[in-house]
Amino acid sequence: MFDKLKQLFKSKTELPWFKYYGNMPKRLKYFEGSLYEYMENTAIKYPNYCAIEFFNKKMNYKTLLDEIDGVALSLIDDGVKENDIVTICIANSPEAVVAFYAVNKIGAVSNIIHPLSSENEIKNFIKNTNSNVVFVSDILYDTMISICNDLKIKSVVVCPLSNKMDTVHKLLYNVFKAPKLNDLPENFILYNDYMTISLDTCETVHRNYDDDAVILYSGGTTGSPKGVVLSNLCFNSIPLQYSHVIEAHPGDSILSYLPIFHGFGLCVSIHTPLTYGMRCVLDPKIDVKKINSILKNKKINFLPVIPALLNVMIKDKTLSKNAFKNLRYIVSGGDFLNLELKQSAEKFVNSHGSSAKIIVGYGLTEAMAAVCASIEPNYKSKSVGVPLPDNRYKVLKNDTHIPCDKNEVGEICLAGPSLMSRYYKNEEETFKALQVHDDGILWLHTGDLGYVGDDDVLYFETRKKRVIISNGFNIYPNYIEEVLNKHPYVETSIVVGQRDKARAQVAKAVIVLKDDVIESEKVKTEIKDYLKKNISRYSVPKIYEFTKELPKTKVGKVDFKALE
């Protein structure tokens, strides 16, 4: 794929959005090694700079490389070889970052799973990838005990969240939140025991830029979870592209609270800043009510953000005039940012000592979550900007390869070096999503609807597929309904989005029970517990309504608007 793109981008074709580039180069030369090697180059230059801060405890770049070596050596002792798949199911923590790079260093592939996935989902993701080594947060200890009854896993590396905390936070966590880890089964091992302490460094397995590096999970075009296979280049292209949009320096700081199982969180909030020599202030579950004090006290320079968080930030009336004096950039992604909120948020941070303007980004997991950015001077409502160097977009008439006219809504398609390689073990969905057009370019059909304006800027309208965005996470109604309709009490169901002040939307399940089932709290509880067992916890509906029949439109289809 990349060779075709490289040949294409050597062309002298002037693309319409180049007029917004200014001094930004139109084409770039990318690092040809692994994502670990790319980060390592920076770490060697700045060994004493802080790489990670976690609950007031800091880790410099030299220590980061040493820990990566320690975990990498243990992975090799466990028999992990090049192209093997290792599962990482950890909340944002230093151990998650170390494991991510250690797996890549030895030429293996990280299978990164949301820690709030259901037990059955985690089991299926591990089984499907033949992972023999699994890194998990301590909160998943009981879940992994259950999973290991059905799967043969060589090593389960348990990562207590308190490992890298300062003394006060460690004490509080261990007293009030930490699960008991007594009498570990034979194949379970604590992270600190797994990390080999050695004077030797682990030899790096050289990987090409187009080799598999990471599997993340996305709903893709249908909403059922799919493994998105991403190459080293997918990760390494983003830091280079964004270096021409933002000005970042070694020693700068970023609030890395967006989860690593999401492309925006893993690449934009972790990998990119570490390749710049920045300090990543990790937070596994941020208290949104304290976001402003964190930005102030940690002297944060870069804030990746979802719109729902901006809504919370601007309601704070307690800040001092210069609270945000260190904040230089805000990058919004994960959901649509309306013009009114953008302007209100910029006014809010500007009134507290920052000159930051919000950069609106657009992408999806299948394209490493950062293909376009609003670098044009006059932001307009619904704009998601223009492609970064070497990226392209076009808008097509639905289910065709025919380009839409300007201002005509159609399906957004993307091309560039950060496109996924494929869906893991799913050729049918891969061929739907990745298609070579008559221009010879491989295009990703996003399932998003939008249009190109007279100004040659891309505008987002809505999603072609049904999706609920709650707190930045994509929730796919079709998938929930598929699981819900298998419950013995349920005749049929529909899941829709309901507005929510804190999360933007939450999922609401509207259920028709079977004739012999009587509505009750017990029935509702059993259905909810069933969903918790089979789908990700963040996807479990917050609201349940029971009805005798679903409302229909005049043509006999389910009336989603009435249900919403």
**Res. 434: pLDDT tops 80:** yes
Tallying the residues shown for the chain, one arrives at 564
**Res. 556: pLDDT tops 60:** no
Q: For 496-548, what is each residue's pLDDT tens digit?
A: 888 887 777 899 999 999 989 999 999 999 999 999 989 888 889 999 999 98
The C-alpha atoms of residue 479 and residue 4 are separated, in whole angstroms, by 35
pLDDT of residue 225: 84
The amino acid at residue 497 is: G
Q: How many structural domains is the chain composed of?
A: 2
Closest among 494, 500, 509 to 560, alpha carbons compared:
494
Burial (CB count within 10 angstroms: exposed 0-12, middle 13-18, buried 19+), residue 110: buried
pLDDT of residue 308: 80
407 C-beta neighbours (distance < 10 Å), count: 11
Residue 60's domain is classified under what CATH number?
Answer: 3.40.50.980
Q: For 330-354, what is each residue's pLDDT tens digit?
A: 999 877 788 888 999 999 999 999 9
The C-alpha atoms of residue 191 and residue 95 are separated, in whole angstroms, by 8
Burial (CB count within 10 angstroms: exposed 0-12, middle 13-18, buried 19+), residue 403: middle
Residue 512's domain is classified under what CATH number?
Answer: 3.30.300.30
Classify residue 63: in a domain, yes or no. yes
Closest among 232, 301, 240 to 275, alpha carbons compared:
240
Closest among 250, 282, 307 to 470, alpha carbons compared:
307
Closest among 230, 301, 201, 280 to 42, alpha carbons compared:
280
User: Concatenated DSSP letters for 401-440?
Assistant: SPBPPTT--EEEEEESTT--SEETT-HHHHHHHEEE-TTS
Classify residue 133: in a domain, yes or no. yes
Note whether 485 and 492 are within 8 A (CB). yes
Q: What is the four-CA torsion angle of 436, 441, 442, 443, rounded to 10 degrees?
A: -90
Burial (CB count within 10 angstroms: exposed 0-12, middle 13-18, buried 19+), residue 558: middle
Classify residue 2: in a domain, yes or no. no
Q: For 228-248, what is each residue's pLDDT tens digit?
A: 999 999 999 999 999 999 999
**Res. 435: pLDDT tops 50:** yes
**Res. 2: pLDDT tops 50:** no
Mean pLDDT over the full length of the chain: 90
Closest among 372, 418, 388, 370 to 5, alpha carbons compared:
418
At 222, the pLDDT band (50, 70, 90 cuts) reads low
**Could you tell me which residues are beta bridge partners of residue 137?**
159
- 162: which residues sit within 8 A by CB, 6+ positions away? 169, 170, 173, 174, 178
Q: For 268-323, what is each residue's pLDDT tens digit?
A: 999 999 999 999 999 998 888 889 999 999 999 999 998 888 988 998 888 889 99
Note whether 477 and 222 are within 8 A (CB). no
Residue with the larger pLDDT of the pair 138 and 285? 138
Note whether 251 and 278 are within 8 A (CB). yes
pLDDT of residue 545: 92
Q: Which value, in Å, is the radius of gyration of the alpha carbons in the chain?
A: 23
Closest among 4, 39, 158, 34 to 104, alpha carbons compared:
34
Identify the domain boundary among 207, 241, 264.
207
Q: Domain range for residue 189?
A: 56-207
pLDDT of residue 401: 94
Strands (E) across 178-239 are located at 188-190, 212-218, 226-231
Q: What is the four-CA torsion angle of 311, 312, 317, 321, rounded to 10 degrees?
A: -80
pLDDT of residue 220: 57
Classify residue 20: in a domain, yes or no. no
The C-alpha atoms of residue 239 and residue 523 are separated, in whole angstroms, by 50
The C-alpha atoms of residue 560 and residue 564 are separated, in whole angstroms, by 6
Of the listed ranges 61-75, 97-111, 201-215, 372-386, the one predicted with least confidence: 372-386
pLDDT of residue 112: 97
Closest among 347, 294, 361, 344 to 323, alpha carbons compared:
294
Q: For 17-31, what is each residue's pLDDT tens digit?
A: 999 999 999 999 999
The C-alpha atoms of residue 341 and residue 275 are separated, in whole angstroms, by 31
pLDDT of residue 11: 58
The C-alpha atoms of residue 102 and residue 364 are separated, in whole angstroms, by 25
Encoded tokens for 309: 């968080």
Q: For 441-491, what is each residue's pLDDT tens digit?
A: 999 999 888 999 999 999 998 776 778 888 777 788 888 888 998 999 998
pLDDT of residue 4: 44
Q: For the residues 401-412, what does the mean pLDDT come to?
A: 94
- Percent of the chain predicted with pLDDT > 90: 69
Classify residue 482: in a domain, yes or no. yes
- Percent of the chain predicted with pLDDT > 70: 95
204 C-beta neighbours (distance < 10 Å), count: 18
Identify the domain boundary among 189, 207, 225.
207
pLDDT of residue 417: 94
**Res. 7: pLDDT tops 60:** no
Q: For 369-392, what is each residue's pLDDT tens digit?
A: 889 999 988 888 889 999 999 999
Note whether 330 and 345 are within 8 A (CB). yes
Beta-carbon-side half-sphere exposure of residue 404 (alpha carbons within 13 Å): 23
CA dihedral for 147, 149, 155, 157, sign (positive or negative): positive
Classify residue 349: in a domain, yes or no. no
Encoded tokens for 400: 């065709």
Q: What is the four-CA torsion angle of 435, 438, 439, 442, rounded to 10 degrees?
A: 10
pLDDT of residue 196: 79
3-state SS of 312-350?
HHCCCCCCCCCCCCCCCEEEECCCCCCHHHHHHHHHHHH
234 C-beta neighbours (distance < 10 Å), count: 29
DSSP three-state, residue 96: helix
Identify the domain boundary among 144, 173, 207.
207
Classify residue 516: in a domain, yes or no. yes
Beta-carbon-side half-sphere exposure of residue 351 (alpha carbons within 13 Å): 12
Residue with the larger pLDDT of the pair 183 and 92? 92
At 555, the pLDDT band (50, 70, 90 cuts) reads very low
Note whether 112 and 229 are within 8 A (CB). no
Classify residue 521: in a domain, yes or no. yes
